[in-house]
Amino acid sequence: MSAVTIDGGGPVVEAPTKTQGYWTGVARRLRRDKVAMACALVLLLILLAAIFAPLVAPVDPAKGSILKRLMPIGTPGHLLGTDELGRDMLSRLIFGGRLSLMMGIAPVFFALLIGSLLGIVSGFVGGRVNTAIMRTVDVFFAFPSVLLAVAISGALGAGIANAMLALTIVFIPPIARVAESVTTQVRSLDYVEAARASGAGGWTIIRVHILGNVLGPIFVYATSLVSVSMILAAGLSFLGLGTKPPEAEWGLMLNTLRTAIYTQPWVAALPGLMIFAVSISFNLLSDGLRSAMDVQR
Amino acid sequence: MSSADLSTRADVPLLQVRELVKRFPLKGGMFQRGGVVHAVDGVSFAVEAGETLGIVGESGCGKSTTARLLMHLISPDDGRVLLEGREVGPSRARNEGGTPGGLTLNELRRRMQMVFQDSFASLNPRLTIETSIAFGPGVHGTPEREANARAQDLLRKVGLDPARFAGRYPHELSGGQRQRVNIARALALEPKIVILDEAVSALDKSVEAQVLNLLLDLKADFGLTYVFISHDLNVVQYVSDRVMVMYLGKIVEIGPVGRIYADAAHPYTRALLSAMPTMDPAHRTAAPPLAGDPPNPIDPPSGCRFRTRCPFAEEVCAAREPPLTATEAGHRVACHMAHAGSGHSKAPPLAAAA
For residues A169 and A149, give the distance between their C-alpha atoms in angstroms, rounded to a whole number: 8
Residue A130 clears pLDDT 60, i.e. is over it = yes
Mean per-residue pLDDT, A204-227? 87
Q: Which of A271, A288, A290, A255 is nearest to A46 (CA)?
A: A271
For residues B307 and B323, give the distance between their C-alpha atoms in angstroms, rounded to a whole number: 14
Mean per-residue pLDDT, A128-155? 88
For residues A84 and A78, give the distance between their C-alpha atoms in angstroms, rounded to a whole number: 13
- In 3-state terms chain B splits into helix, strand, coil percentages (rounded to 5) of 35, 20, 45
Say which of B105, B125, B180 has its CB closest to residue A9: B180
- The pLDDT of residue B97: 60
The verdict on a CB contact (< 8 Å) between A9 and B123 is: no
- Predicted complex ipTM exceeds 0.90: no
Residue B114 clears pLDDT 90, i.e. is over it = yes
The verdict on a CB contact (< 8 Å) between A198 and B163 is: no
Mean per-residue pLDDT, A140-159? 86
- The pLDDT of residue B85: 83
Query: How sure is the predictor about A219, in pLDDT bands with cuts at 50, 70 and 90?
Result: confident
Say which of B176, B185, B217 has its CB closest to residue A194: B185
Arithmetic mean of pLDDT over chain A: 82
Question: For residue B195, what are the β-bridge partners?
Answer: B114, B227
Evaluate whether A57 touches A98 at the Cβ level (below 8 Å): no
- The pLDDT of residue A295: 61
Residues of B in contact with A200 (CB under 8 A): 135-136, 139
Phi and psi (nearest 5°) for A146? -65, -45
- Could you write out the DSSP letters of every residue in B209-242? HHHHHHHHHHHHHHT-EEEEE-S-HHHHHHH-SE
3-state secondary structure of B78: strand
A193, A195, A197, A198: CA torsion to nearest 10: 170
Question: For residue B54, what are the β-bridge partners?
Answer: B228, B243
How close does chain B come to A294, measured CA to CA in Å?
11
Residues of A in contact with B121 (CB under 8 A): 189-191
How close does chain B come to A86, measured CA to CA in Å?
56
The verdict on a CB contact (< 8 Å) between B174 and A208 is: no
Tens of pLDDT along B118-128? 888 899 888 88
Residues of B in contact with A29 (CB under 8 A): none
Most trustworthy range by pLDDT among A212-221, A247-256, B43-52:
B43-52
Phi-psi region of B8 (alpha: psi -120 to 50; beta: other; left: phi over 0): alpha
Evaluate whether B166 touches B155 at the Cβ level (below 8 Å): yes
Give chain A's domains with CATH numbers.
43-59+84-292 (1.10.3720.10)
Mean per-residue pLDDT, A94-100? 87
How close does chain B come to A295, measured CA to CA in Å?
8
> Please, what is the end-to-end C-alpha distance for chain B in angstroms?
43
CATH topology of domain B2-246: Rossmann fold (3.40.50)
3-state secondary structure of A38: helix
Q: Give the least confident one: A135-144, B210-219, B287-296.
A: B287-296
- Stronger pLDDT, B283 or B85, i.e. the higher one: B85
> Please, what is the end-to-end C-alpha distance for chain A in angstroms?
40
Say which of A6, A7, A196 has its CB closest to residue B73: A196
Tens of pLDDT along B51-96? 999 999 888 888 889 999 999 888 888 888 888 888 887 555 566 5
- The pLDDT of residue A167: 92
- The pLDDT of residue A15: 42
Evaluate whether B115 touches B196 at the Cβ level (below 8 Å): yes
Tens of pLDDT along B298-332? 778 888 888 888 888 888 888 888 888 888 778 89
Enter the DSSP assignment of B256. E
Task: Compute CA distances B168 → B121, B162, B163, B177, B178, whole Å.
Answer: 16, 10, 10, 11, 11
**Percent of chain B scoring above 90 in pLDDT:** 31
For residues B213 and B180, give the distance between their C-alpha atoms in angstroms, rounded to a whole number: 11
- Stronger pLDDT, B82 or A158, i.e. the higher one: B82
How close does chain A come to B48, measured CA to CA in Å?
21
Query: How sure is the predictor about B34, in pLDDT bands with cuts at 50, 70 and 90?
Result: low
Q: At what angle do helices A211-238 and A89-125 cross, to 10 degrees?
A: 140
Mean per-residue pLDDT, B174-188? 92
- The pLDDT of residue B100: 66
Q: Cβ neighbours of residue A91 under 8 Å, at least 6 residues apart?
A: A57, A58, A59, A60, A61
Say which of A2, A9, A295 has its CB closest to residue B216: A2
Q: Cβ neighbours of residue A75 under 8 Å, at least 6 residues apart?
A: A68, A81, A82
Residue A242 clears pLDDT 70, i.e. is over it = yes
The verdict on a CB contact (< 8 Å) between B209 and A9 is: no
Evaluate whether A43 touches A75 at the Cβ level (below 8 Å): no
Q: Give the least confident one: A21-30, A48-57, A194-203, B106-115.
A: A21-30
Evaluate whether A230 touches A103 at the Cβ level (below 8 Å): yes
Residues of A in contact with B172 (CB under 8 A): 15, 19
Evaluate whether A54 touches A248 at the Cβ level (below 8 Å): no
What is the side-by-side order of every strand in the sheet holding B225-229? B112-115, B193-197, B225-229, B52-56, B242-247, B250-256, B331-333, B325-328
The verdict on a CB contact (< 8 Å) between A213 and B172 is: no
- Stronger pLDDT, B283 or B209, i.e. the higher one: B209
H or E stretch at B106? helix B105-111
How close does chain B come to A137, measured CA to CA in Å?
21
Tens of pLDDT along A24-43? 778 888 888 889 999 999 99
Query: How sure is the predictor about B135, in pLDDT bands with cuts at 50, 70 and 90?
Result: very high
Q: Between vectors from CA A230 to CA A111 and to CA A33, what angle results, nearest 5°? A: 90
- Could you write out the DSSP letters of every residue in B4-38? HHHHH-TTS-SEEEEEEEEEEE----TTS---EEE
Query: Which one of A191, A205, A208, A211 makes the best mutation probe of the B interface by having the most chain B beta carbons within 10 Å?
Result: A191
- The pLDDT of residue A9: 43
Q: Which of B284, B286, B244, B285 is nearest to B268 (CA)?
A: B244
Tens of pLDDT along A170-185? 999 999 999 999 999 9
How many contacts does A have with B, using Cβ atoms within 8 A?
Answer: 114
Mean per-residue pLDDT, B48-53? 93
Mean per-residue pLDDT, B16-26? 88
Say which of B123, B171, B217 has its CB closest to residue A191: B123
- The pLDDT of residue B96: 59
For residues A248 and A227, give the distance between their C-alpha atoms in angstroms, rounded to a whole number: 19
How close does chain A come to B185, measured CA to CA in Å?
9
Residues of B in contact with A10 (CB under 8 A): 174, 176-177, 207, 210
Query: How sure is the predictor about A10, in pLDDT bands with cuts at 50, 70 and 90?
Result: very low
Tens of pLDDT along B222-272? 999 999 999 888 899 999 999 999 998 899 999 999 989 988 889 899 888
Residue B5 clears pLDDT 60, i.e. is over it = no
Most trustworthy range by pLDDT among A284-288, B191-195, B198-202:
B191-195
Q: Which of A29, A116, A18, A39 is nearest to A294 (CA)?
A: A29
For residue B291, give the amino acid letter: A
pTM for the model: 0.79
* Domain ranges across chain B: 2-246, 267-353
- The pLDDT of residue B352: 47
Residue A2 clears pLDDT 80, i.e. is over it = no
Question: For residue B41, what are the β-bridge partners?
Answer: B21
